[in-house]
Amino acid sequence: MPFTAPLSGADPARQSQRLPRRIYRLRMLGMGLAALPVGTVLLENNAAWSTWAWLVFTAVLWPQLALWLSLRHPKPFRGEIRNLLFDSLLAGMWVPLMAFNLLPSVLLVTLATVDKISTGIDRLWYWSLPLMLAGALVAGAATGFELRPATSMPVMLACLPMLLIHSIAVSQASYHLVRKVKRQNRLLDELSRRDTLTGLDSRRHWQEQATLLQDQCAETGEPATLMMIDIDHFKAINDRHGHAVGDDVLRATAEVIRHSIRGQDCAGRLGGDEFAVLLRGTDLVAAEIVAQRIRAGVEALRVQSAPDLRHTVSLGLAKADAAAGGLRAWLETADRALYRAKSSGRNQLAIHEGPQPALAAR
C-alpha cells in the first residue's frame, strides 16, 4: 500500500524521534487513498468478509500498529525501515486479492516502489521487491491466483485520487527536501569561507578573493594594497598564559582588524597568528593610515582573560603592481616588508615601495 515520505537519510539518529509520527500521518493518507480503488474492486468481485477484514486492517489498523511498534523500538529509525518493508509486503498481497485487476494493481506496485525510492534510504526499494513478490505469492496461493484483469470505469475513477494526491504529496515533500538540502549547502559553503576561531575569511576563501582582485587590478589599473599582520611574540603569549588566552588574543586582534577596514575590503586568517587584508582601491598612503589604526588599536587592547597582557602586531604593506608574478609573489613581497618591521623592533609597519622596503615610524 502506498506511503509518501521523502526523508533525508544523512542523519537518522537526529530524526529518529520525529520520524515515526511524521510517517504515521503520511501512511494514513496513503492507505486511505489506496482503500478507495481496492474497496471498489472488492465490491465488484463480491469479496469474502475475510478479505474486507484484511482491508480494514491494512487501511486503518496497520498505521496505528506501525506507529506503536516504531515508538517501542530501541532505534525508531530502524523500526520505521521495518514498517516500510512491511508496507511493500501488503502492497504485494493486494494484487492477487484484487484478482490482478490491472490499473489498481499497477498503481499499488509502482507507487509503493516510488515511496521507497523517495525516502532516500539507500537500496530500500531494492530490499522491498522480494517482500512484495512474497506477499503476492502468499495471497495468490490463498486465492488460487484468480485472474480478473479488466478494469471498470468505477475502479478507474476510484484510482484517480490515489494517483493525483499521491503524486502531489511526493512532489511537495521532495520540494521541501531539496530546499532543506540547498539551505544546508549554503550553510556549509558559508562555514568553509570562515575561520572558525576569528570569524575572518578562511585561508582558501581569502586566497580566492586575492586572485580575483589581482586580475581586476591588472585589467582596470585600480590600486590595491596587501597588508600582512603578525602578532608579536605570540608563542611566548601561549607559553606564559596558555592557549586559551592565545585564542582570546587572536579573536580580539581579528575584531580590531574587522572594525578598522571597510566592507569592501577582505580580511582573512592565513594560519597561526598571521592575518592578511586586501585593501581595494587603496594606494600605499591610504593603506598606511589603515595599518597604523590597526596597530594602535591592538596596542590599546586589554584581554579580559589576562588583564596584565599587552600585545602588539607588526605589519607589512605591498601594492598590487608589486605582484606581477602572481599571488605568491605578492604575498612574499608583503611578507618581506612584515619581516622588516619585525626585525626593526616590532609594533610597527614596513612598506614595500621598491628594492628596499621603507620603514614607517610609530
167 and 277 in one domain?
Answer: no
Strands 349-352 and 358-360, sheet pairing: antiparallel
Residue 118's pLDDT band, with cuts at 50, 70 and 90, is confident
- The number of distinct structural domains making up the chain is 2
Q: How far apart are CA 115 and CA 119, in angstroms?
A: 6
2 located within any domain: no
Q: What percent of the chain has pLDDT over 90?
A: 61
332 and 243 in one domain?
Answer: yes
* Average pLDDT rounded to a whole number, residues 42-60: 95
Q: Looking at residue 10, what is its pLDDT?
A: 43
Q: How far apart are CA 105 and CA 156, in angstroms?
A: 11
222 and 151 in one domain?
Answer: no
Q: State the residue range of the domain holding 26.
A: 12-193
112 located within any domain: yes
* Average pLDDT rounded to a whole number, residues 166-179: 73
| Domain's final residue, options 130, 162, 193 | 193
Q: How far apart are CA 230 and CA 339, in angstroms?
A: 9
What's the CATH code of the domain at 217? 3.30.70.270
Q: Looking at residue 163, what is its pLDDT?
A: 86
Threshold 0.75, pTM exceeds: no
107 located within any domain: yes
Q: Which of 17, 26, 133 is nearest to 78 (CA)?
A: 17
The DSSP letter of residue 58 is: I
144 located within any domain: yes
154 located within any domain: yes
Residue 360's pLDDT band, with cuts at 50, 70 and 90, is low
Q: Give tens-digit pLDDT for 294-326.
A: 999 999 999 888 888 999 999 999 998 754 578
Of 140 and 190, more confident: 140
* Average pLDDT rounded to a whole number, residues 168-181: 72
Residue 355 pLDDT greater than 50, yes or no: no
Q: Looking at residue 119, what is its pLDDT?
A: 76
Q: Looking at residue 6, what is its pLDDT?
A: 43
The CB-side HSE value for 50 (13 A sphere, CA atoms) comes to 4
Residue 361 pLDDT greater than 50, yes or no: no
Residue 15's pLDDT band, with cuts at 50, 70 and 90, is low
144 and 43 in one domain?
Answer: yes
